Amino acid sequence: MTAEKHYYIHRDLSWLSFNYRVLQEAKDPSVPLFERIKFLAIYSSNLDEFFRVRVANHHNLLRVGKKTKKRLDYNPKQILKEIHEIVNRQQEEFSDIFENQIIPELKQHGIYLLRRLDLNEEQREFVENYFRDHMLPFVQPVLLVGKKIRPFLNNAALYLAIQMREKTNPDGKDHYGLVKIPSDHLPRFIDLPQGRGVHDVIMLDDIVRHNVSYMFPGYDILDTFSIKLTRDAELYIDDEFSGDLIQKIKTSLAKRHVGPPSRFVYDREMPGSFFDFLKETFDLGNNDLLREGRYHNNFDFFKFPDFGMHHLKNLPLQPLVYKPLEEAVDFFGAISKSDHMVHVPYHSYESVVRLFEEAARDPYVTHIKIIQYRVARKSRIMEALMRAVKAGKQVSCFVEVKARFDEEANLEWGEKLEKAGVQVHYSFPGVKVHSKLALIRRQESDGPNLYTYLSTGNFHEDTAKVYSDFGIFTADQRITGEVSRVFSFLETVKIPNAEFEHLLVGQFNLRTELIQMIHQEIENAKAGKRARIILKMNSLQDEEMVEKLYQANEAGVEIKLIIRGICSLVPGIEGISDNIEAISIVDRYLEHARVFMFYNDGDEKIYLSSADWMVRNLSYRIETIFPVYDAALRQQIKEIIKIQLNDNVKARLLDENHSNIYKQNDSDVAIRSQMETYYYLKRLEENR
């Protein structure tokens, strides 16, 4: 039976289901209180970016001509309608979690989040003084006079919309004002003098509310409601293939903050007449509007004060020292003897940083090459590259300046590296370079030798503390030679003379080789042999790959998926995907690694990857999928994947209804895969 179009979930609806899994963590009473607050922040931050990018894209599609719309395989208006329905439901649940679970539990620990009517006299005086001393220069009060004067709303800035009447005419018509909540200049959460609890806190929003009458002295304040506008974050470059691409990106970045609206968020308690007035004033369409609670920009909960109550956080897991490299006397000698693998954040990232610091000071290292997609703002790796140049080494860095929301940071790093003498290569038109590769050339007694580091994650010391990724160090010539060819292509834009036999590289052999491996499993299943595919990734969205997996299911291939985010494939449909089981794991660390395993009639192929199975990754990026040949490292990966497949604490089953039901195993033993992975790796390190 051939899979029908019906069995394909639109990527944005599936993504909303993923973000709901984040919200599930916020309402899980077994999660420590401050971690639940952090998950509220993650949910809000995720949603903000979703509207700035994905929803903005649908708005743009509504504006195109009929001919272009006919070429689409979906109706953007219908998708927007479904998105808004889902988000409205989730936002109501968000408010319920915050108001009825988080706030009461904070009170149990002596932390009171107060509103202005809760304040005692001393606290009111504090709030009034704080407003005059710290906030007054930033609030920018404006009297709204309809569409005659249309104030510009900054992207993601918080505003208080005010309903009021003239004191001289209390029975007259309503007037409206606007005040900025200056969370871009001041902390969102302000400690108050002690009152109801051990720790009393007020949000900046409510300090503004308390002082509104001070800004509009001729009016009686009837009510106040918070609003926020999210703007399209896409960089619109008419033609990447002509002119100076980097200059075009810089020009487009300067316009990002004035992009068209993609979401207008307002307090759901706002009366209809006030809402209609704002809608007309700011020229908002129905597709722009979204109801939320009393407070917006809830990603500010990342900065909620913890008052030193560490027992309300996750118990810290000390990153494991990877002794074979971190304690190696001869760093490159250790890599030449055997392959090594770190799994951050369980392992310390120090081995990766040391690779570059050793290369910078090693007198026998002659060349260093790296791909920069996202790096830390204070990057020891980038600093090591600049030191290497001073030491007389040839250093080149490919800087992908189209990494969304890191464009400015990458441009700054590129300029800094160039000034230091690093040879910097910048983005290609039409594609992104998303591979995570580094290459080091070292002159040794037997001649020049190559060392490479290949990873599923970025060269980023900060995200390595929370993103779960694999990285492999190797001097295996089968791999190093092909990594060298990738860098040669990036630096010269000349097609390599030899084909890639070991690496799967985007724009060359990546998609075709993946399809071939799926086909091999199909042939093995048809021949009566055992056939199995295990895939772990962030997102599975590419329609061709989904169809191939359905064909594999039909042939009897056993398929297990671990998908953190988007999953457009629908598992468990009789005759279509009944051999496919899909789970998603959301826990304290963000699952970011990609692992692809093909049984291959017992000669199992195991790959790690920078690429998800999305159209953008497989067709419009230069990605690298790399094989794991070392027997010990292969066994580690298999054990970790086995642990994840057996998770019965944080794994959710994926289905066509987006139920996000927690997976239950028959075992009485609770298996929380991230904790089990940490202790599995800890035992390995202790037994070295």
Helix 11-27 vs helix 33-50: angle between axes, to the nearest 10 degrees?
160
Tokens representing 678?
């940490």
Give kind and range of the element (H or E) at residue 380. Answer: helix 380-390
Q: What is the pLDDT of residues 32-86, one digit of tens each?
A: 999 999 999 999 999 999 999 999 888 888 877 666 666 677 788 899 999 999 9
Q: What is the mean pLDDT of residues 622-647?
A: 98
Average pLDDT, stretch 198-219?
94
Pairing of strands 111-114, 199-203: parallel
| pLDDT the model gives residue 2 | 45
When pLDDT is averaged across residues 554-561 and rounded to a whole number, the result is 98
pLDDT in tens, 392-435: 999 999 999 998 888 899 999 999 999 999 999 999 888 999 99
For residues 325 and 119, the answer to whether their CB atoms sit within 8 Å is no
What whole-number distance in Å separates Cα of residue 681 and Cα of residue 320?
Answer: 8
Sign, CA torsion 557/558/564/565? positive
- 286 — pLDDT class (breaks 50, 70, 90): confident
**What integer best gives the mean pLDDT of the chain?**
93
- pLDDT 10s digits, 367-384: 999 999 999 999 999 999
User: Which segment of 222-231, 417-426, 623-632, 643-652 scores lowest on mean pLDDT?
Assistant: 222-231
Helix, coil or strand: residue 474: strand
- What are the chain's domains? 11-312 (3.30.1840.10), 323-498 (3.30.870.10), 505-686 (3.30.870.10)
Contact 140/180 with Cβ under 8 angstroms?
yes
pLDDT(5) > 60: no
Using a pLDDT cut of 90, give the percent of the chain over it.
Answer: 80
Angle (CA) 72 75 79, round 5°? 125
Query: With bands split at pLDDT 50, 70 and 90, how would you rate the model's confidence at 3?
Result: very low
Q: Is residue 602's pLDDT more than 60?
A: yes
pLDDT of 242 above 90:
no
To the query of whether residue 434 is one of the catalytic residues in this protein, the response is yes
576-579: long-range pairs with CB below 8 Å, 24+: 576/1, 576/3, 576/4, 576/7, 576/550, 577/3, 577/7, 577/549, 577/550, 577/553, 578/553, 579/553
What is d(CA 293, CA 98) in angstroms, rounded to the nearest whole number?
10
Pick the catalytic residue from 175, 343, 425, 434.
434
pLDDT score for 232: 85
Quote the tokens at residue 380. 């020891």
Q: b/e string for 545-582 if b means 16 or more Cβ within 10 A?
A: bbbbbbebbbbbbbbbbbbbbbbbbbbebeebbebbbb
pLDDT band, very low/low/confident/very high, at 452 (cuts 50, 70, 90)? very high
pLDDT at 290: 86
Q: In the predicted model, what is the mean pLDDT of residues 432-453?
A: 97
- The model carries a pTM of 0.94
In tens, the pLDDT along 171-205 reads 889 999 999 999 999 999 999 998 777 899 999 99
Q: How confident is the model at residue 631 (pLDDT cuts 50, 70, 90)?
A: very high
Q: Which tens digits make up the pLDDT trace of 464-494?
A: 999 999 999 999 999 999 999 999 999 998 9
* Cα distance between residue 324 and residue 168, in whole Å: 80
pLDDT digits (tens, 9 = 90+) for 101-133: 999 999 999 999 999 899 999 999 999 999 999
Which pLDDT score, from 0 to 100, does residue 93 have?
A: 96
